[in-house]
Amino acid sequence: MAVSSVVRTRWPAERRFYTCMALAIFVAMYVGFARTFFLRPWFPEAYATSPAEPFFYFHGVVFTAWFALLVLQPALVGMGRTDLHRFLGRIGAVLAVAVVVVGAVGALIAARRAGGFIGIPVPPAQFVIIPFVDLALFTLLVGLAIAWRHDAQSHKRLMLVGSLCLIDAAIARWPVVISVGNPILFFALTDLFLVPLAIWDFKTRGKLHSVTLWAGLLLVVSQPLRLWLSGTDVWLQVMSRVL
């Protein structure tokens, strides 16, 4: 009974929920990049659809470290290691900056290839808006999460939704999504991760938390907007100069 009581104290329903959500996001990322990064030696046929530039090994390590930290942080609180949670939080702030810088450089490298983004028939100057907006939303939401770190409820939701902004690239590489080849599908699957968070809010609060509402809307609304903006003359002219 004593052991059971300790487990319940250390792992309340809220901590289990956020740990499982972070783990689900990590799994989505892992599945998307399993063939072209994590398990690449076991899938030689995937070399043709993998980036050839060595930079993307570093890119993969940085992004994997971010998602691993996303899982570890709520688990540490659940285990009562708030001291280590705070210490890793400071490292996480630096890692978040690295994610943005490395992500932007990776997007530019891919866009400047002779063939553009691998497996993407859309012109690079047009498609590059997707990773750029992902990184912009990540910067905004994770930046707010760091600024509001003393507001635990806002902080946790901002970290989750901010990290969701990065996984559409992984979901786009799921076999079922590749077979369909429609960006609306990988956006929709990304948005499905918001559903458990909304259900949790209604279950525990009786209404949506303001962060779930506004951060979720920002992510969802950005998706059709970026598809529209990517085809405008203004965007194409600017990106042609940048690239």
Taking only the tens place, the pLDDT of each residue in 192-201 is 999 999 999 9
| Nearest-5° Cα angle at 99, 95 to 101 | 115
Q: Distance between alpha carbon 113 and the CA centroid of its chain, in Å?
A: 24
Higher pLDDT, 38 or 49: 38
Which tokens go with 158?
A: 């901002």
Structural domain of 198: 2-242
pLDDT band at 56 (very low <50, low <70, confident <90, very high): very high
134 touches 172 (CB < 8 A): no
Q: Which residue has the tokens 């929709």?
A: 188
CA distances from 77 to 5, 9, 53, 192 (A): 17, 11, 38, 26
CA distance 194 to 183: 18
Question: What does the pLDDT read at residue 10?
Answer: 52
pLDDT band at 118 (very low <50, low <70, confident <90, very high): confident
CA distance 33 to 149: 30
Domain count, the chain: 1
pLDDT band at 8 (very low <50, low <70, confident <90, very high): very low
pLDDT band at 3 (very low <50, low <70, confident <90, very high): very low
Average pLDDT of span 82-88:
90
DSSP assigned state of 101: H
Question: What does the pLDDT read at residue 6?
Answer: 42
CA distance 54 to 6: 47
Question: What does the pLDDT read at residue 4?
Answer: 42
Long-range contacts of 65-69 (CB under 8 A, 24+ apart): 65/95, 66/92, 66/95, 66/96, 66/99, 66/163, 66/166, 67/22, 67/25, 67/26, 67/29, 67/163, 68/26, 69/95
Residue ranges of E strands in the chain: none
pTM beyond 0.85, yes or no: yes
